């Protein structure tokens, strides 16, 4: 078995879901997403046993494009993140009714397919195709099943679509230029191309535009909050939990090793941009009125730190940022789910209209609080492991980076606890709030279990990703 199996499962799943009809769609989708998760665990086992799970097939001869999928530790970690979050996301939607459910759930699986493809692709053009493919389902999910005023939503979603697409075109240009030089799109060939410092600069910048918009890094983030707010929560979870990690992952896989000289030359600037995002995102998050928007800006702050960690070009920075990608993926899905649970009962996302929920729902309160604490990286959660490692790596570059980036532990606590206080505490609201259902509880419990387990025992993940990251660093430092 090789990594293409999981792609096949997800693709078949998307079609099967569509043809199973509206009634069954959600269950079929869940089944296939679980099958994909099972498959990725088997793949992980095989990989750990030393089996080769990569694929290379020639696809198009002229220009030379291969169907190449690379199953290394880094790729597998991201695939596992996707495969683990997709069933949680699907299951979390079980409390909602969707019109044309078959289309909705099919698109979710299709998106998972494209994202897994992005994480595995080892050929530049194949990667680019998967990368763009992932944009299409989320566009429709947000546009058709989103909420709020239809016209405003259309504006926000179209803006997002065109903006990210435009960014990606720069990346495509870079790939075409690289192909001229290397005569191949295969990643190992691209790693070997000799580029002058000037060429590297432009290629680095082209990649950066694509990734900075996707991640997003300030000031390219303006699409984010609106789309997160207006997309259905499932869409927001897909975007924030997995899709933005495509950008962060690509920095490690493509941008840094292909243009290492530029990376080394300008790393200070990009670390600074990431950290600026931490501070800016945290401050903007503080006074948001809409719960989903607040979480969107908190996400902006967190990915800023992850990006900063990646640009340190140290093993610690890379390792910390990958761990933080995974931890953030889980916690942000959990937090958006909490927002959804509240919306199901209150039909509002306005923080000002909430309050006093704690008295009525002890279980929900506990789960939400644990997620809030994970989000502010309390030790014993996985988020702490990631954040500590990233901050440590920053301190090795310049202590001021660690201090400024470290303000996240203060500001993060400020905006999250402020939000928690206004949403959950205080006098009981006149509206009733039923505690979590069994289905909802299961989704929360799984996420929390993952975060706590790896909080105390991150070793399996560290061991999985370290060899790949060392390889990437070797490529970066080859000259």
Partner 1 sequence: MDTNLALILVLTPLLGFLVNVFFGKSLGKTVSGAIGTIAVAISFVVSLLLFNQITSTGKGIQVTLFDWIQISNLKINLGFLLDQLSVLWLLFVTGIGSLIHLYSISYMHDDENMHKFFAYLNLFVFFMITLVIGSNLLVLFIGWEGVGLCSYLLIGFWHKNQDYNDAAKKAFIMNRIGDLGLLIGMFIIGSMFSTLDYATLKTAIAGATNLNLPLLSLAALCLFIGACGKSAQIPLYTWLPDAMAGPTPVSALIHAATMVTAGIFMVTRLNFVFDLATDVQTVIAVIGAITSLVAATIGLVQNDIKKVLAYSTVSQLGLMFLALGFGAYEVAVFHVITHAFFKACLFLGSGSVIHGLHGEQDMRNMGGLRKAMPITFWTMLISSLAISGVPFFSGFFSKDEILLTAFHHSIPLYVVGSVASIMTAFYMFRLMFLTFFKEFRGTEEQKHHLHESGSLITIPLIILAILATFGGLISLPGSSWLNGYLAPLFTKVAGEEHHLGATEYTLMGVAVLGGLLGILIAYVKYFKQDNVPESDENITGLSRLLYDKYYVDEIYDAVFVKPINVLSKFFRDHVETVLSAAVFGLGKIASEIAFQGKKLQTGSIGLYLFVFVLGLCAIVSYIFLAQ
Q: At what angle do helices 362-375 and 382-397 cross, to 10 degrees?
A: 20
For position 452 contacting partner 1 by CB under 8 A, the verdict is no
For position 316 contacting partner 1 by CB under 8 A, the verdict is yes
Q: Which of 38, 63, 183, 219 binds partner 1 (CB under 8 A)?
A: 219
HSE (side-chain half, CA atoms, 13 Å) at 373 = 14
- Residue 420 C-beta: closest distance to partner 1, Å: 9
Q: Which of 20, 118, 314, 443 binds partner 1 (CB under 8 A)?
A: 314
Phi, psi of 55 (to 5 degrees): -135, 135
- Residue 413 C-beta: closest distance to partner 1, Å: 5
- Residue 66 C-beta: closest distance to partner 1, Å: 34
For position 456 contacting partner 1 by CB under 8 A, the verdict is yes
- The closest alpha carbon to 325, from 240, 438, 448, belongs to 240
Whole-number Å distance between alpha carbons of 374 and 345 = 24
By beta-carbon proximity to partner 1, the closer residue of 334 and 458 is: 458
Applying CB under 8 A, which part among 70-78, 242-250, 334-342, 373-381 lies near partner 1?
373-381
Q: Please, which residues have CB within 8 angstroms of residue 347's CB and are 6 or more apart in sequence? A: none
Whole-number Å distance between alpha carbons of 113 and 356 = 41
Helix and strand counts by DSSP (H, E) for the chain: 22, 2
- Residue 425 C-beta: closest distance to partner 1, Å: 5
Q: Which of 373, 374, 450, 464 binds partner 1 (CB under 8 A)?
A: 373
Q: Which of 27, 154, 418, 431 binds partner 1 (CB under 8 A)?
A: 418
Q: Residue 123: beta bridge partners?
A: 186
Q: At what angle do helices 4-19 and 21-48 cross, to 10 degrees?
A: 170
Q: Which of 458, 464, 472, 476 binds partner 1 (CB under 8 A)?
A: 458
Residues in the chain: 479
For position 445 contacting partner 1 by CB under 8 A, the verdict is no
Q: Which of 222, 268, 432, 477 binds partner 1 (CB under 8 A)?
A: 222
For position 1 contacting partner 1 by CB under 8 A, the verdict is no
For position 402 contacting partner 1 by CB under 8 A, the verdict is yes
Whole-number Å distance between alpha carbons of 299 and 288 = 13
Q: Which of 34, 129, 409, 452 binds partner 1 (CB under 8 A)?
A: 409
- The closest alpha carbon to 113, from 21, 25, 3, belongs to 3
Whole-number Å distance between alpha carbons of 55 and 316 = 29
Which positions from 241 to 280 touch partner 1 by CB under 8 A, shown as an x/- string?
A: ---------------------------------------x
Q: What is the separation of C-alpha 240 from the centre of its chain, rounded to a whole number of angstroms? A: 5
For position 4 contacting partner 1 by CB under 8 A, the verdict is no
- Residue 175 C-beta: closest distance to partner 1, Å: 23
Give whole-number Cα distances, 452 to 106, 229, 284, 320, 405, in Å.
32, 28, 29, 17, 24
How many degrees, rounded to 5, is the angle at CA 298 between CA 264 and CA 268? 15
Q: Which of 32, 161, 204, 223 binds partner 1 (CB under 8 A)?
A: 223
Span 62-121, contacts to partner 1 by CB under 8 A: none
Q: What is the separation of C-alpha 211 from the centre of its chain, rounded to a whole number of angstroms? A: 12
Q: Which of 315, 442, 446, 452 binds partner 1 (CB under 8 A)?
A: 315
Q: Which of 396, 432, 439, 474 binds partner 1 (CB under 8 A)?
A: 396
For position 48 contacting partner 1 by CB under 8 A, the verdict is no
Q: Which of 426, 429, 437, 441 binds partner 1 (CB under 8 A)?
A: 426
Q: Which of 64, 154, 159, 181 binds partner 1 (CB under 8 A)?
A: 159
For position 403 contacting partner 1 by CB under 8 A, the verdict is yes
By beta-carbon proximity to partner 1, the closer residue of 241 and 320 is: 320
> Around Cβ 397, how many Cβ atoms within 10 Å?
18
For position 231 contacting partner 1 by CB under 8 A, the verdict is no
Give whole-number Cα distances, 354 to 262, 282, 346, 428, in Å.
49, 22, 8, 9
- The string of DSSP codes covering 302-328 is HHHHHHHHHTT-SHHHHHHHHHHHHHH
Q: What is the separation of C-alpha 219 from the centre of its chain, rounded to a whole number of angstroms? A: 19
Chain residues that interact with partner 1, rule: CB under 8 A = 159, 162-163, 219, 221-223, 225, 280, 283-288, 314-316, 319, 356, 358-359, 366, 373, 378-380, 385, 388-389, 391-392, 395-396, 399, 402-403, 406-407, 409-410, 413-414, 417-418, 421, 425-428, 456-459, 462, 466
């Amino acid at each position: 078995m090789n990594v293409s199996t999981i792609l096949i499962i997800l693709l078949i799943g998307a079609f099967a879901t569509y043809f199973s009809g509206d009634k069954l769609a959600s269950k079929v989708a869940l089944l296939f997403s679980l099958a994909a998760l099972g498959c990725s665990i088997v793949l992980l086992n095989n990989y750990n046993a030393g089996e080769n799970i990569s694929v290379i097939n020639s696809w198009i001869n002229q220009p030379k494009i291969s169907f190449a999928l690379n199953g290394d530790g880094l790729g597998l970690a991201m695939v596992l993140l996707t495969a683990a979050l997709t069933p949680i996301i699907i299951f979390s939607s079980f409390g909602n009714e969707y019109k044309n459910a078959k289309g909705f759930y099919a698109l979710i699986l299709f998106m998972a397919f494209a994202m897994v493809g992005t994480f595995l692709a080892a050929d530049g053009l194949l990667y680019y195709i998967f990368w763009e493919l992932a944009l299409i389902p989320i566009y429709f999910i947000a546009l058709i099943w989103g909420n709020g005023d239809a016209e405003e939503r259309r504006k926000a979603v179209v803006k997002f679509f065109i903006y990210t697409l435009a960014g990606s075109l720069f990346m495509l240009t870079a790939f075409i230029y690289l192909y001229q030089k290397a005569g191949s799109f295969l990643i190992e060939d691209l790693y070997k191309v000799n580029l002058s410092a000037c060429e590297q600069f432009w290629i680095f910048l082209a990649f950066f535009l694509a990734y900075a918009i996707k991640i997003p890094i300030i000031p390219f983030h303006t699409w984010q909050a609106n789309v997160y707010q207006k997309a259905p929560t499932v869409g927001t979870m897909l975007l924030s939990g997995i899709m933005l990690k495509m950008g962060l992952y690509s920095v490690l896989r493509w941008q840094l090793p292909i243009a290492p000289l530029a990376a080394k030359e300008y790393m200070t600037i990009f670390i600074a941009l990431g950290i600026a995002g931490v501070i800016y995102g945290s401050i903007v998050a503080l006074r948001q009125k809409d719960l989903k928007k607040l979480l969107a800006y908190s996400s902006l702050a967190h990915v800023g730190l992850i990006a900063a960690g990646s640009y340190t070009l140290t093993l610690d920075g890379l390792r910390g940022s990958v761990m933080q990608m995974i931890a953030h993926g889980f916690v942000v899905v959990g937090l958006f789910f909490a927002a959804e649970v509240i919306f199901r009962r209150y039909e509002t996302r306005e923080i000002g209209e909430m309050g006093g929920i704690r008295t009525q729902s002890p279980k929900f309160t506990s789960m939400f609080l644990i997620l809030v604490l994970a989000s502010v990286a309390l030790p014993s959660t996985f988020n702490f492991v990631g954040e500590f490692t990233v901050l440590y790596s920053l301190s090795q570059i310049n202590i001021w980076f660690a201090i400024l980036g470290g303000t996240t532990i203060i500001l993060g606590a400020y905006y999250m606890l402020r939000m928690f206080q206004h949403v959950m505490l205080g006098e009981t609201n006149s509206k009733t709030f039923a505690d979590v259902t069994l289905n909802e509880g299961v989704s929360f419990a799984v996420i929390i279990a993952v975060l706590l387990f790896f909080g105390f025992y991150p070793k399996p993940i560290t061991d999985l990703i370290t060899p790949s990251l060392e390889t990437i660093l070797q490529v970066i430092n080859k000259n």
